[in-house]
Structures are given as structure tokens and as C-alpha cells.
Structure 1
């Protein structure tokens, strides 16, 4: 547990990472005092676990701060590379995967046919030297806007980390590959759940802003309870990697790589059942289901999406339906 508290990985997990990325970070020449692949992994995990205090890493591992900086760059570049990301962050593509996810989600609050829950979160950054104003989010702090989708097992199945903090969640979604995927008919008959900051779609169900009857209230209750998983999952991600909680003192492009690397490592921890400092069930205190609504940010009506939401509510959450969430 002491190793997990310090590095967020157990010893077997650290050895696994060494096998996974060791070739990409091993020194190319044999010179005196060269840092081994394992040392580089430990330095990087310590930084990601405790936050942007590189001096602590240099003291703990007896290397200079510039060396820590170079190590972080090399390891995070590998962890955020397309080959590694595709290996560990995968959106479902097969019918059996759709059914497995939907049944698991349905077991939470009886909401059917859900394969993922989506939300946006902000990762704080130091004010950048260029285009500083576009990184200021609605709370007045500099950040990167991150879109993340989780499956019912708290694993990340899609992440977009490349937009400045002023960009709204709906635009991040609209410009993403995920949007194109679903608009093209992927997973027809299944859908994501999102908050009121997203547009209503046949594949993206949002809550009623002002439910008018028991059916809509039942829909909203089930939606809220089911979608809460994304808040807990973001909380787990940030609790596991403390660097995501504070203000990251790197250029925005490097911050985006750090975020993606943390997402990859989070999924590896999930696959290997490595706990988060003991407690795996933490809410994300910075993101809640009503946050965007409370800020007055909501999407204009989408007639087709709203009609489909009405259909889902009437089919599964009417008073005489067995799916009614009481």
C-alpha cells in the first residue's frame, strides 16, 4: 500500500509498465549514471500522483530538477502516443460489448440501452504565454476543457483533451470523432447520457429541464442516478492522479499529453484492479450534474432529439412501466 500511495501502481503494475514502454524510454547509449527505464517510470508516476512539484521528485529519486523535466517529457510522450492510447482507451464496437455495457448500466437505475456516460471537466493550468484569454473558463481560471466518456466499470472509453477552457462542452463534442461516429449510425439503438449542456440527440439523452409529469420525473431520476457514474469516475481519475487537481505548470500542449497519459494509466489500473489509496468511490467535487445548468449554459431545443427523449420516457418510465424509477 505504501508503494501504491506513492506511485499509484503496485510493484507488479510498475513491472508491467516497464515491459510495455521500456523500449521507448531506455537510454540509447551506455553512459555513466544513465537513468534506467524503471527509474523514469517511477519519477513520472510520482509526479502524476502528487501534483506538479518536480522538486519533490528530484529529491526522492536523487536526480536534478532538469533531469526530472526531461524524464517527464519522454515518458509522457510515450504514454500519450496513438499506439498506446488505442491499446487502452477503446470505444465499444461489437454487439456483445454494447449489450454488456447496457445491462450493467440498466442495473444502476433501470435506464435501458446506455453504453456510456459523458461529461466535461476542467484541468487547471498556468496562464500560457500565447492566446492566454482563450484558456479562461467560465469560473475565471485558466484550464483545458476535457471531454471524457466512461463505461459502467469506470473505465475511460473516449477522451478529448485539446481544447482551451473557454470552449464549451457542446462544441468539444461537435468537433470530436465521437460525434461523427454516432451521427454515422454507430451503435444504433444504444445511446450516451449527458447533462443539459449537451444537445439532445437520438444517441445522446439529456434530462428534462422542467419535467411536467410523473413519467418525465421518473425519467429524470433514473437519468440522474445513472449519469452520476461519470462524476464518480472523474473523481476517481483526479484522486488517483493529483496532478489533475491543481494548476499544471506546463505549456497547454504538454498538459494535454499529461491528461491523456493519466487516462491511459487509469485504465491500466482498472484492468489490474489496483485500488486508489484504499477508497475507489469518490465524487468529483469540481463537476456535478447541475453545474452547467447552474451557470445558465444550456443548449437550444433540438426537435428530433427531444421527440426521441419523449419516446424513451413514455416507453420505459410511464406509470405502468416496470422501468419506472421510484
Structure 2
């Protein structure tokens, strides 16, 4: 006795049922199956599933398998898909069409497909023969620095292969993120370079940035210890002549797309008035050492918040308020208030010669911080334009830029002079510009000593 593949239907019932089902709902089954059968498409970055398509294929398999067991060899839709070259079965190479002809699947057709994207650009960049200059242009760092970052992030970003697909290698994951930060190009452009889906690239950027912030930030952004602070004070003393300076502070704005919530909080009024174009931003506050390295950062406060308010929200302010910055001064611009540990220029009218000279020294010290922020924004071009990243994910991206800046500076990575640009951050004098009478006296004393020392040296 021959057993039918569908025991509850004989061949005549199958034909009647198929005809009845077409009349009952022609939108449910494709006409003239299997020539116009709908496939379930599998993409690199996402799986597109259609419940109706899945049921449709099951029913059609039942109806067609008895009539023709060798369905795959006579299925025009399968042949067209494999001849097109635009898609290939997952897990097989370019010769999959030959293999599939000789080894038909049990169900008579394949149901998982992957788009065939070109990875030629990345394979060329990943080659040992790729020129160092072109690699720097694409990633803003040398191959050795890039390899070091990949090694340190390996355990955090490495993924295992699955039955459906092979995991993207660590080097390619890091490369997608660094290239996106360096060029600031849209995700659709980056995805074409690496032969990946747009959503896959977006996910990789966020994952790698989060890993950089978690794994590398505690290592590469640190407040100087007791031995380091002595060297920092000595270096700043040679720059400005002011003693006990442990860092210089600056706040920059990063443009963003207008958020859906709290729009007014992120509205950058000063930038809008100057450019005559509505602008929204978030802030990045950083303390910089004499070598231009960040030793403290505070990221993500709304762009409408002035510099002194951003400072009050930062962990640096809390540490200083508890006395942890004893015998250390931080130099800021007029946007910050004068405090016992924070030294800022004179802002009132009709300054004396002593006060003018003091402001000049403060400006020289502040230039170190401004140059550091300029190099960071020039090196990571994503900071110069409104980004596609959601507001809640931006702190991780900006933190990663600060960490990568420090790594490049520590390893003496030269920055192309063509990338330099003028840093625009409108300063506004703090409302309560003096917070301590003792700080006023200390500033007057420092200004007097600077003028006396310079006149003594000149004579």
C-alpha cells in the first residue's frame, strides 16, 4: 500500500480543495502557484516574516508535493531567485545554485535568504597591504592604534556564530563604529562600505560606543594622582605662570535634531541668534591637562543650560564641594563663576593693567582646552553635524569620542591639518560670577604677583 504524503486527502480532493480555496480568498494564496509564490526573505540585519506567507507556503506544499515530488527542479520561482545573483541561500557560498540543484531540500524550496552585499571596501582596508595614509583618512588613527583598540574591546564586543549566520568579526565591528564617528557620514553610506544592513551598522555603532565607555573610559580618562598632579601643575605653571593649576575647563555644544520631548530645554538660543538658524544641542564639559588629554568629562546636559549650571550638575563640582580638590585650581572662562578652586578672568569694565595681564594668562591656559576640543571635533566629524543617534544614546557616543581622542593623543596620532576648523561656543558671563570673597582676594593676589614677576623679569 502506498502512503500518500497527505493521508487525509486523496489526489482528487486535493485538486478540489485547491480550487475551492482560490475561490474563497484569492488574496490569501498567490495566483498560479508556484510561479508567483511569495518568499520569506532573510536579511543580514533583520528577519522579515509574514504569518500569511508562512501559512500559505505550508498549504501550498501539501497541495503540490503529491502531484510532483521533484518540486524544486521544476519550480520556476526557485530558479529565478538563484539565477538573479542578488540573493543567495544563507550559509552557502557562491556555488550554492549548483549544490541546490543536486541536493534539493526536503520541503522542495528554501525559505531563508540573505542579500548579497559587497564587502570589497572593508576587505581592502583590512588587508595588510592597504596604505597607512588611506587607513588614517578613513579611521583617523594608525593601524597599530586600531589593532590595540580591537584587542582591548575583544571580550566586550565579540559575538558567537549561530546556526543561521556567522558573527561579524570584532575588527569589522570596531571599524564600523570608528569610521562612522570619524567621517560623520550617514548610516546608509557606512553600510554600503562594509556590506552590512543599515540597522546592523546602527546597532554596531551603539554597541561599540557602549563598550568603549564601559571598558576604556575608566582607563583612559582619569583625574591625576598625587605624582601626576605635580607634573600637571609644573607644566601649567610654565604656560601661565600661575601656580597650583591642575586643569583647564571648557564646555562645547554638539548639534542635535530637535527632540520630541523637552524641546525648549535643548534650544541653543545663543547659537540660533548668531547663525539665524534654529539650533538644538547638548553639552560636553571637559577638564584638560597640559597635553590636551581629558581628565574629567560631563556629558549630555541640554543646550539651553549655561556653563555654570552645567558645572553645578557635574561630578567634578560635587567632588570639589567635598574638599577633594584641595590645593588644586581649575582655570575656566567667563562663563564659570569664581570659586575657591575655580579661577576665572575679570569680567567688569575698566580693568587695570594688573587685571588685563591676569586675563591674558587665563586666556593662554584656556587655549589648551579649546585646542583639545577643536582636535576632538575635527578628528571625529560626527560631532560637527546633527546626528541620527537618539538622544538617550548620545552620551555613550560622545563619551566614546572623548576616550578615542585621549587614545590618539597619548599615542601621538597626528591630525591632518586639513581637518582643522574654528571652534564656536558662545560664552555668557555667569549670573553669580563671584561665589567667594576669599576667592576674590586670592585672585587679586595672583594677579599682583604675575605683574610683579613679569616686570621683574623684564628689568
Q: TM-score scaled to structure 1, two decimals? A: 0.90
TM-superposed deviation, 1:313: 1.4
1:79 alignment counterpart: 212
Partner SS, residue 161 of structure 1: strand
1:203 maps to 341
1:220 equivalent to 2:346? Answer no
Pair 1:117-2:248 in alignment? yes
Aligned-pair distance for 1:24? 1.2
Tell me the CA shift for residue 217 of structure 1. Answer: 1.5
SS in 1 for 2:282: strand
Which residue number corresponds to residue 158 of structure 1? 296
Q: Could you say which residue in structure 2 is the equivalent of 1:194?
A: 332
The range that moved more, 199-208 or 96-105, is 96-105
State which of 396, 401, 410 in structure 2 corresponds to 1:271.
410
In structure 2, what is the equivalent of residue 169 of structure 1?
Answer: 307
Is the 1:236–1:284 contact (alpha carbons within 8 Å) kept by the matching residues of 2? no
Cα gap change, 1:283/1:105 in structure 2, threshold over 3 Å: closer, same or farther?
A: farther
Alignment correspondent of 1:134: 265
Distance (whole Å) between structure 2 residues aligned to residue 325 and residue 93 of structure 1 = 36
Query: Which ranges in structure 1 are unaligned for 5 or more consecutive residues?
Result: none
- Alpha carbons of structure 1 residues 324 and 76: separation in structure 2 relative to 1, 3 Å: farther
Q: Does 1:20 align with 2:152?
A: yes
**Cα distance between partner residues in 1 of 2:367 and 2:441:** 24
1:269-294 residue CA offsets vs partner (Å, 9 max, x unmatched): 112111222579x564213xxx314x
1:110–1:325 Cα contact (<8 Å) kept: no
Partner of 2:318: 180
Runs (4 or more) in structure 1 with deviation over 4 Å come to 320-326
- Conserved 8 A contact 2:221-2:296: yes
TM-score (normalizing by structure 2): 0.65
Cα deviation for residue 304 of structure 1 reads 3.0
**C-alpha distance in structure 1 between counterparts of 2:386 and 2:233, whole Å:** 36
More relative contact order, 1 or 2 (CA 8 Å, 6+ apart): 1
Aligned residue pairs: how many? 317
Q: Which moved more, 1:300-309 or 1:253-262?
A: 300-309
CA distance in 1 between counterparts of 2:326 and 2:237 reads 17
Deviations 1:99-152 (A, max 9, x none): 211111122232322111101110011111222221112223111111111100
1:183 CA drift (Å): 2.3
Taking the aligned partners of 2:452 and 2:353, their CA distance within structure 1 comes to 7
Q: CA 1:23–1:220 in 2, change beyond 3 Å: closer, same or farther? A: same
- For structure 2, the 5+ residue unaligned runs are 1-132, 273-278
**Aligned position for 2:183:** 50
Please report how far the alpha carbon of residue 318 of structure 1 lies from its aligned counterpart in structure 2 after TM superposition.
3.0
Per-residue CA deviation, residues 202-243 of structure 1 (Å, 9 max, x unaligned), is 211000113632221211111111211111110000001000
Residue aligning to 2:386: 247
Matched residue, 2:116? none
Distance 1:52 1:171, change over 3 A: farther
Q: What is the RMSD computed on CA atoms of the aligned residues?
A: 2.2
Are 2:298 and 2:315, in contact at CA under 8 Å, matched by a contact in 1?
no
1:256 shift after superposition: 1.4
